[in-house]
Amino acid sequence: MKRKQFVRASLMAALGAVGLKGMAKSNSTYDQMMDQVGFNHLPPNSPNVGSNNTSDMKSVLHKANTRGHANHGWLDSHHSFSFASYYNPDRMNFGVLRVLNDDRVAPGKGFGRHPHDNMEIISIPLEGDLEHKDSMGNTAIIKEGDVQVMSAGTGIYHSEYNKNTDKEVKFLQIWLFPKKRQVEPRYDQIPIKDLARKNEFYQVLSPNPDDQGVWIHQDAWFHMGDFEEGKEAEYCLKTSDDGVYIFVLDGEVEVEGQKLEKRDGFGVWQTDKINLKSVTNSRVLLMELPMQA
């Protein structure tokens, strides 16, 4: 897909140009994003996954200053993967992880009512308060220490606004391709402060409704980590067919010998575990997810 086609398709998917009942295939969030990626969810030039041998481990590094950037005045957004006007054919996705946006929204501003379908959408506030409203009748405020999930499924409208008029809201917006399409739309949010464990990874999302944290329609596990300087932690993957994408929220860490700074992203696959060392006090988001749909 060429840049001009990509930009048009991304804007249609992100903003929702038509209503849900009349949504043509070409305007579907899922179809637009899948067409951009194609059916191969591996990073470019990657071999087949499935090895348990850590010596065969593959990785991709996304430094913070190489992300796409768009400043609309009311919205200042950095894109780890191609999104809207930012297009990089080598930065389309990591496995089923299609969107990782680091957003800052001005006081009282936000995203107006718009549709999505067949996408698992996760929001993690980092500072401030974000007001959510959707076509299922949900009205909620999510804030630092919360995690929100929305399964768009057969189709949903929603809006997101900065609740405060005197300070920015900062949050991560994450989109995953779903395991199953056309599910009934659903919404959930929980506080994760009670789940937090110092100097170890703690789970905040999974595919299991009975497991710790929120759940989604995808075989993905999200963990947060709040580490003191010098602390180390090991993470074991659920299956060697998965990959892990580490996103540094604050501080500096080292993962499998790779030094990472604030807002760096690091994808690892073809391994059964990873080791992290905290170089300074740090916070990280770790996402384990399928490398192929």
Which of 52, 271, 70, 42 is closest to 173 using CA atoms?
A: 70
Bridge partners, 139 (sequence order): 133
**Alpha carbon distance 137, 229 (integer Å):** 44
Higher pLDDT, 34 or 19: 34
Which of 116, 90, 111 is closest to 30 using CA atoms?
A: 116
pLDDT digits (tens, 9 = 90+) for 126-155: 999 999 999 999 999 999 999 999 999 999
Rg (CA), the chain: 18
User: How many C-beta atoms surround the C-beta of residue 73 within 10 A?
Assistant: 7
Is 51's pLDDT higher than 70? no
Measured in whole angstroms, the distance separating CA 102 from the mean position of its chain's CA atoms is 9
Q: Say how many domains are in the chain.
A: 1
Is 86's pLDDT higher than 80? yes
Where in the sequence is the domain holding 34, given as residue range(s)? 3-290
Quote the pTM value. Answer: 0.87
Q: What is residue 93's three-state secondary structure?
A: coil
End-to-end CA distance of the chain: 20
**pLDDT (mean) for 5-25:** 48
pLDDT digits (tens, 9 = 90+) for 190-227: 999 889 999 999 999 999 999 999 999 999 999 999 99
**Alpha carbon distance 141, 133 (integer Å):** 9
Q: What is residue 205's three-state secondary structure?
A: strand
- CATH of residue 156: 2.60.120.10
